[in-house]
Structure 1
């Protein structure tokens, strides 16, 4: 029993990995031609082209990045199949088999590389020890590959099926497929693979306690390994023969095979050492050369110092002469900087005082309104006046939302002023963002029975910071709702232009404003302004914050409005290449 365990252990360590990784060489030509053809067909899809390029170079991490970018930006079903295939093979080679399985299963049944995909899907679930599913996918790959008439690829599939049958203890089926594998390998005259087939059959027979057949194939593997260049194959074959002879009691022969195995092992180690020594010598030579260069630099520096000594002495005298002028100029400059900083500080203090005044007043109003509403709410609960109770709850919600928006704007305004707000620009799908904002404000729109329409072009992509864009859209939509009457209408849409900017319009049919008010709102200053309409609570902080964030995103803001005829807030942001 110990003999069988030792031999089957080598099967796990040596034979099983070779079954699957050898496939990448056999199918590479068919796969490479297919992939390169698609890269030419879809050359405008840059993320896909980069993904396939990195895949063919076996740069798995870069393949994962660009295939995900392609999946995120495109909806082409064919490219999606190839991207999932790239990701599956990348995860498989990184030995992340669960993720590999997920990606392979996302490809469609019509995928052109399905035979290879199903083979690796079988290999992945075999690594996850799901033998029944592994057999299913290997069989499916076999059925698809027979049409391709590719014996090299079929050899790997038969090997996989035979191996799976061994795990399932279905030894007759395993023998059938492993013998078929051996036959195909012998036809191709691939000595390395014939050795592998002999090793597989030997392990199969030892699993069934058919020692004579097992030893026969171990011997054939050993004799054939003398003709291969793979040192690892030679070492494993001789080591297996050592175990065979030990279990037969032929310790002298076993010792000879064991010594041979150790020699091959030493050869592997020596080969690694040779490379290590060569690398060390190279580094040493570079270090010596660098040392010589450093010495030359020091010598040149000393010569330069001697040559330039007189020059520096003259320079020192000249510096003494102009030193007084420089000190005086620095004093004048420092005075100007201090004066500028003082003016800026006074302006910031004025802004701070005005901000505290406005915000504290509005928060006090909101809290007082909430306090009064809660008192009425208590009374309504006691009197069981449910109609008024529902109205008060909605009123409390509106007051709380208003106070939260004010505090949120205050936080972002403070971060912006102190330059602590993080900006990261990227390509943003405008329609999706407007859809998110609409969802957040659905309760307020329903509360005032306002009709909302998202007419933004689904092909519009802009290059902005996502978080700041959301803040701008929330504030402008909040203002549109605030200044709209019951049963009003709000529409957000894009206007096609031939420039590099995307034009977004937020239109309402609310109270509107005069031209003087528009000019005041668009004025380029950082101070806050209280709205003149006393019935509408607001600090003006939201619009000021929006203006500064639009400016940081290289955007522009314009306003069109007339009293009692509604308002158009017109935004322009840089387009991304997708709009090109």
Structure 2
């Protein structure tokens, strides 16, 4: 009821906008107002009124040569016919839009036309044409995404170039100051020489004056050289920070462009199948589709959680609060949380830890480390495999506890071991049951273990399982 009330209020505003545009004889404004009124009528399912407004908008746009606006209105008319189930009328309008599509400038309007054509032919049962127009629609979607990404990259490039120019100008200013100092020094020396030539009796005083001036200038020159050195150091730090920012940006774009897309595709695809074919599906099919949707949602939640923690770690917004706690209950809690995933693959998880082993670290970040290592072990262990988690005092590192997560899984290639904890070398590999990931989990582990003054490493042989070790201070 609230949404319908808001739409009615919006309808009143657009009607007032139509009256105002009519008074001003603004053809573009009139066409836009009719188009928006038609859209609102379609939202409240008063399709005849919607079509009436759309056709008025279309006629005005055609008469005033507003090609993009006219095409957009045709798309809205076709969409309304599809909602009414009038496939014949929708086909007629879309073919009309298709004939004029080459004159349209806005790629988003073209994309919508091909999307509607794909939907039309799918509902008519002509899946070959539906697939062909869906492919064209996706091509336009990729083009729009590429344009947006290029625009973002261009903006970052401009900012980088601006900062570089400002630093170059600052260096030039320092160079001018140095030359000015050198000129003043040379001028002073010449004045002293003239004074020595004219005033032989004032040699001692003149010499003292010269030495004083030279000492002063040398001190100033040393200070300027120190400033230049500090500026160069800051430039090097800025370049390093920029390189890290670019690596972070590339990783973020990769996640957004690829890893977020797959869970959403599954959610949208299978929920759409359920919505359109619910009454025609068997109970087993419904359970299977719901299971896929649930797994995709869990995968998406895990991805977003890791992405959020990683982003907060990069921006320094995570508060690390070390405290004394027993490690065994924390490990068992994380095993309990992931037990359902292990049971799906019939993996046996064993915990061998000392119940009195106390550590001093940030509890939340260590829980994240254990959760990600255990999740990876389950992901890369075959059905019926085993995972063992141990925690004890480290023999190699004094005053440190050492936690080991050992699995009987597929192992890691020797060439990949050295780069799995690096942002520019991290990568995502599908698990033994085609589980997906982003490569962020191990980055978070490396970040959090380092923040807690520990070390993390892996021993693994391809095909023989893996052992992930990390240390944290004993309490």
**TM-score (norm: length of structure 2):** 0.50
Provide the secondary structure at the position in 1 that maps to 2:427.
coil
- Per the alignment, residue 487 of structure 1 pairs with 384
- Per the alignment, residue 184 of structure 1 pairs with none
Q: Give matches, 1:75-474, under 5 Å.
A: 321-378=218-275, 381-474=278-371
Deviation at 1:504, TM superposition (A): 1.3
Rg bigger for which structure? Answer: 1
Matched, 1:575 2:474: yes
Output the CA distance in 2 between the equivalents of 1:464 and 1:319.
Answer: 54
Compared CA separation, residues 317 and 519, structure 1 to 2 (3 A): closer
Q: Give matches, 1:425-574, under 5 Å.
A: 425-495=322-392, 497-498=394-395, 499-522=398-421, 525-531=422-428, 535-574=434-473
Output the CA distance in 2 between the equivalents of 1:517 and 1:414.
Answer: 24
Compared CA separation, residues 467 and 528, structure 1 to 2 (3 A): farther
Deviation at 1:489, TM superposition (A): 2.2
Do the aligned residues in 2 keep the contact of 1:528 with 1:539 (CA within 8 Å)? Answer: no
Compared CA separation, residues 332 and 493, structure 1 to 2 (3 A): closer
Do the aligned residues in 1 keep the contact of 2:357 with 2:392 (CA within 8 Å)? Answer: no
Output the CA distance in 1 between the equivalents of 2:464 and 2:236.
Answer: 47
Do the aligned residues in 2 keep the contact of 1:451 with 1:487 (CA within 8 Å)? Answer: yes
Output the CA distance in 1 between the equivalents of 2:300 and 2:216.
Answer: 62
Deviation at 1:395, TM superposition (A): 2.3
Provide the secondary structure at the position in 2 that maps to 1:481.
helix
Stretches of structure 1 that go unaligned for 5 or more consecutive residues are: 1-314
Stretches of structure 2 that go unaligned for 5 or more consecutive residues are: 1-211
Output the CA distance in 2 between the equivalents of 1:362 and 1:567.
Answer: 25
Do the aligned residues in 2 keep the contact of 1:484 with 1:509 (CA within 8 Å)? Answer: yes
Compared CA separation, residues 415 and 497, structure 1 to 2 (3 A): closer
Output the CA distance in 1 between the equivalents of 2:410 and 2:279.
Answer: 39
Deviation at 1:497, TM superposition (A): 4.3
Provide the secondary structure at the position in 2 that maps to 1:322.
helix
- Per the alignment, residue 155 of structure 1 pairs with none
Provide the secondary structure at the position in 2 that maps to 1:520.
coil
Deviation at 1:384, TM superposition (A): 4.6
Do the aligned residues in 1 keep the contact of 2:349 with 2:388 (CA within 8 Å)? Answer: yes
Output the CA distance in 1 between the equivalents of 2:458 and 2:277.
Answer: 44
Provide the secondary structure at the position in 1 that maps to 2:418.
helix
Deviation at 1:392, TM superposition (A): 2.6
Count of equivalent residues: 261
Compared CA separation, residues 517 and 402, structure 1 to 2 (3 A): same
Output the CA distance in 1 between the equivalents of 2:401 and 2:240.
Answer: 38
| Cα deviations by residue, 1:219-278 (Å, 9 ceiling, x for unpaired) | xxxxxxxxxxxxxxxxxxxxxxxxxxxxxxxxxxxxxxxxxxxxxxxxxxxxxxxxxxxx
Deviation at 1:387, TM superposition (A): 2.0
